[in-house]
Amino acid sequence: MSNDTDHRSVTCQASPNIALIKYWGKRDDELIIPDNDSLSITLDLNDMHSYTTVSTSSSMTSDTFYFEGIQQTKLSRRMEKVLNEVRRRAKDSEMKFVEIRSHNTFPASSGLASSASAYASLAIALTNLFHLDDPQSTAAYLARIGSGSAVRSVYGGFVRWSSQGECLSSCIYPAEHWPELRLIVLIFNSSKKAVSSTDAMQRTRETSTLFQARLSTINDKIDKLIEAIKNKDFNTFAKIVMMDSSQFHAVCMDTYPPVIYLNEQSKHLIDLVHAYNKADGNETMKVAYTFDAGPNPFCFIREEHVEEFLGLLQYFYPTTNDNVRKQPMANTVEKFPSINLAIMPNVLEGIVSTKIGSGPKIIS
């Protein structure tokens, strides 16, 4: 802590978001203007968030960044870009230098991308610290130029990121709209992805022909998904979300050289979800999966089916790993004789169970 009389600081918490309709491809790499609209849900702050404090005082002589308490030797290019934009907007050259301290309440190995929550919390803290005009839009803009998907973590609930006009985000339904919706994240592999989203989407743009076909169907898909969310129609919601995930991975496969994020366990989970949804004979959707740029599934499920599904997961992915919370089995499997899949021992590194959240919070 500095003793300066003009020392000021703001802290912000923001959580990650999961895309229901994926963002993939940018028309402008510098400003991060997306090729398509995307839709996401922001997760509950109580379960996981990035916690970022930004301070300033006239005695600071450079920008500094501490991540998880450790001073980083250099700020990333994207972080520099965000700070330069704040300097440009701050009145009376009020902003000289800042100290940024950021940490995540969830491990990098949780399968959740932390860049969205990190840049959203940084953007909101900076906007508040320097009293920038039009704070919501400014924070969204700053988050976006840090990492595209971060623009969606600036709001809670169901969020749309527009690829038109200002290319900012907005909340289309608050978290309270569908409180029964839950999210279960399965960690099959916690190691860093081989090809970053940034590089892979660039490669897709240059080489994939399926990519254009995807872009031409996205707005229609988003309209239908918004209608399903409005009506809390889980059947339609589940189908659209799963199909968009598969289409996104098909586009990655159509990229040259191909980018393959899914693995054998991802495919097993896909089969398990479809077998479970079909098991009672009338194809009533109970679970939907989506996969980002990695093999770990994000499963959407209504509260009433959570226990049953966790029982199935425990049966099909038995593990000695202590990170996986043991659930009472509740004879789940006996109820589903039609699910005829192999058991995959010791593939599950962890399970995170969470729900929709109402967005970032400013602490000080």
Site string for ligand DP6, 285-314 (x = CB under 6 A): -------xx---------------------
Choose between 96 and 193: whose C-beta lies nearer to ligand DP6. 193
CA torsion through residues 85, 167, 298, 198, sign: negative
Is 22 among the residues that bind ligand DP6 (CB under 6 A)?
A: yes
Would you count residue 32 as binding ligand DP6 (CB under 6 A)? Answer: yes
Considering the complex, what minimum distance in angstroms separates the CB of residue 218 from ligand DP6?
11
Letters for 212-241 (x = contact with ligand DP6 by CB under 6 A, - = none) are: ------------------------------
Q: How many residues bind ligand DP6 (CB under 6 A)?
A: 14
Q: At its nearest, how many Å lie between ligand DP6 and the CB of residue 221? A: 13
Q: Does 197 bind ligand DP6 (CB under 6 A)?
A: yes
Residue 196 beta carbon to ligand DP6: minimum distance, rounded to whole angstroms: 7
Q: Does 138 bind ligand DP6 (CB under 6 A)?
A: no
148 lies in the binding site for ligand DP6 (CB under 6 A): yes
Is 104 in contact with 117 (CB distance < 8 Å)? yes
Is residue 79 at the binding interface for ligand DP6, with CB under 6 A as the rule? Answer: no
CB of 188 to ligand DP6, least distance (A): 16
Residue 102 touches ligand DP6, criterion: CB under 6 A: no
211 interacts with ligand DP6 by CB under 6 A: no
Min dist CB 258 to ligand DP6, Å, is: 15
Name the segment binding ligand DP6 (CB under 6 A); options: 144-152, 180-188, 304-312, 342-350.
144-152
Residue closer to ligand DP6 by CB (options 159, 312) is: 159
Q: Which of 114, 149, 265, 327 binds ligand DP6 (CB under 6 A)?
A: 149
Nearer to ligand DP6, 41 or 324 (CB): 41
Under 8 Å between Cβ of 120 and 360: yes
Judged by the rule CB under 6 A, the positions of this chain that interact with ligand DP6 are 19, 22-23, 32, 38, 113, 115, 147-149, 197-198, 292-293
